[in-house]
Chains A and B, each alone.
Chain A
Amino acid sequence: MNDELRALYQEVIIDHGRRPRNSKKLEHPSCTQEGYNPLCGDRLTLYLRIDDNRIIDASFEGEGCAISMAASSLMTERIKNMTVTEARQLFTAFQNLVTQAEPPDNIREYLGKLSVLGGVRDFPVRIKCATLPWHALNACLNNINTKQIVSTE
């Protein structure tokens, strides 16, 4: 296995991909958002419970590749108890991680465990897999019409 593949399929990703955390329907969510990647058929529904501008709980239901499932699992773990403002900042930082050629060290430190998904940089067609739950999150936070499915296309 070459270095790029090793970076893409780190143990954390395989683990979260197979045993995603927070994979359930949330009761009484304040926001529900579907995300869909029509290219590969990855589909997820993100549930957020936001109270007093803070994300009290987050979960998702869906089916997809190891990258999209791990991304959803790691994202929902991290955003719990964040304020909406902090979650927006996290979204921007994650976008920078997966799209910038050499993301600065402070972004990696800030993102912590989420940095394991930085390996998708070397696999342009897989960036959509990693960002699918993040686009759903962004739509929720920006109060986009939640009846509309967020698409990576």
Chain B
Amino acid sequence: MSLVDRPAEHGSLPLNKVDWPAIRRDFPLLAQKPYNKPLAYLDNAATTQKPNSVIDSIAHFYRFDNANVHRGIYQLSERATATFEAARDKIQCFLNARLREEIIFVRGATEAINLVAQSYARPRFKSGDEILISAIEHHSNIVPWQMVCKQTGAQLKVIPINDNGEIMLDSYQALLSEKTKIVAITHLSNALGSIAPVQRMITMAHARGIPVLLDGAQAAPHLRINLQALDCEFYTFSSHKIYGPTGVGVLYGKKSYLDAMEPYQGGGEMISRVSFESSDYNGLPYKFEAGTPNIAGVVGLAAALDYINTIGLDNICQREQQLLDYATKALEQTAGLRIIGQAKHKASIISFVLDSAHPHDISTILDQQGVAIRAGHHCAMPVMTRFNVPATARASFSFYNNESDIEQLVQSLRLVNKIFTIKNG
């Protein structure tokens, strides 16, 4: 029996009572056998696999509920609208946001950041202003701000990290000034696994009246998010990294901020009245949702959050920490392996390099052993520069991974060493 068929209170089971093998069976893709080997899918930081309940919810929507939202005066459209808006409530609850209209549906975390950059920052920032990001950002939280700098004359400032891959709070304090107009930082580094000390960073920014955007693309699947406690002005995440479908994501913004911002895109849905002379914009959240949204994607995302709740985020966090500890110890035993990023507060992401082989060669050999990892710069080139490596290999774990996946990874790395050292003499 799949875990999703069981009562939701299983999420409150203690860690050792959760049936992890049953949970893994909820993900049909993981049963594949590439090259006749069990699949060890360890690229969860890039995208996660989808449980049956998410896949089924999308199919169910298209089979029985499909209609456009907010505009049909007939039962089917009303049902689609109700399902779509119920998803918004679910996300509000998941993030513990104060108001449902603070939840905006977008295409992904990248679009959410671009929305804030263009709708909030661009009209307000001017030459001499500063935008503060950190050295562990991925490109999605660098490039939109660079574009704003180009458009407004503002300057990008980067908070440095130490050799463990942790944000240096004293440097951050020194960089905060009356010139700083926004702080935009990742909640959790995709390249290193470091969890940023966001609560302290928000408090420090707020002490100077500076708004904060958190890029939660990596954090949302691994950590419990409580936006009312965090008190940040903006938060973003992507559905596909949290077991939902691709092409949908969420921007959370404090109502007072969203109210003051101009729409990001114009079109249907985001208006209340249109004439050829002018248009009146719709209220929140619709002001930022031009055009027909990814309705089935939103439905799938809601199903993903339901699924996560059946396991329980606390169980997920603990299980992933177990896997991180197990994998860290196992990898440290591998000859010539160096882990890049050893932050004290870390999620289940391990970046590493091997003396014997380049990450690209590692990835090819691992692939043939059924192990899927990421090799490259992880869309975080400045992080690679900081650690003076052209690329890393990265294994990132989800709660559905297990110790066998890690053993398969370690055995495959031994094969890499064998191929590259025996022939090397």
Contact = CB atoms under 8 A, between A and B. Distances in A.
Nearest to A5: B368
Interface in A2-20: 2, 4-5, 8-9, 11, 14-15, 18
A67 B375 CA distance: 15
Contact of B360 (A5, A14, A40): A40
Interface stretch (A58-66, A79-87, A99-107): A58-66
B359 interface: yes
A1 B415 contact: yes
Nearest to A37: B360
B7 to A, nearest CB: 44
Contacts of A67: 360-361
A41 to B, nearest CB: 4
A43 B39 CA distance: 32
B35 interface: yes
Contacts of B359: 40, 65
Interface in B351-387: 357-361, 364-365, 368, 375-377, 381, 384
Nearest to A64: B358
B159 interface: no
Given A41-B384, A65-B358, A66-B361, A1 B35 contact: no
Interface SS of B by simple majority: helix
Residue in B359, B415, B423 whose Cβ sees the most chain A Cβ within 10 Å: B423
B75 interface: no
Contacts of B256: none
Contacts of A9: 361, 365, 419-420, 423
B368 A39 contact: no
B391 interface: yes
A11 B423 CA distance: 6
Contacts of B357: 65-66
Interface in B314-368: 357-361, 364-365, 368
Contacts of A129: 360
Contact of A65 (B35, B360, B384): B360
Contacts of B375: 40
Contacts of B423: 9, 11, 14-15
Nearest to B418: A1
Interface residues of A, number: 24
Interface in B149-190: none
B-side interface size class? 20 to 34
Contact of B391 (A2, A18, A40): A40
Contacts of A14: 419-420, 423-424
B390 interface: yes
Contacts of A1: 368, 415, 419
User: Which of A14, A18, A123, A129 has the most B CB atoms < 10 Å from its CB?
Assistant: A14
Interface string A18-31: 10000000000000
A4 to B, nearest CB: 7
Interface string B380-407: 0100100000110000000000000000
Given A2-B35, A42-B390, A129-B360, A18 B424 contact: yes
A126 interface: yes
Nearest to B367: A123
B390 A8 contact: no
Nearest to A6: B419
Given A1-B419, A18-B424, A126 B358 contact: no
Given A18-B424, A41-B377, A64 B364 contact: no
A41 B424 contact: no
Interface of B: 35, 357-361, 364-365, 368, 375-377, 381, 384, 390-391, 415, 419-420, 423-424
14 contacts: A2-B35, A4-B368, A9-B365, A14-B420, A14-B423, A40-B359, A40-B390, A41-B377, A41-B391, A65-B360, A65-B361, A66-B358, A67-B361, A126-B364
Given A14-B420, A42-B360, 12 more contacts: A1-B419, A5-B365, A5-B419, A8-B364, A14-B424, A15-B423, A15-B424, A41-B390, A43-B390, A65-B360, A66-B357, A129-B360
The 3 closest A-B CB pairs, nearest first, are A65-B358, A65-B360, A41-B390
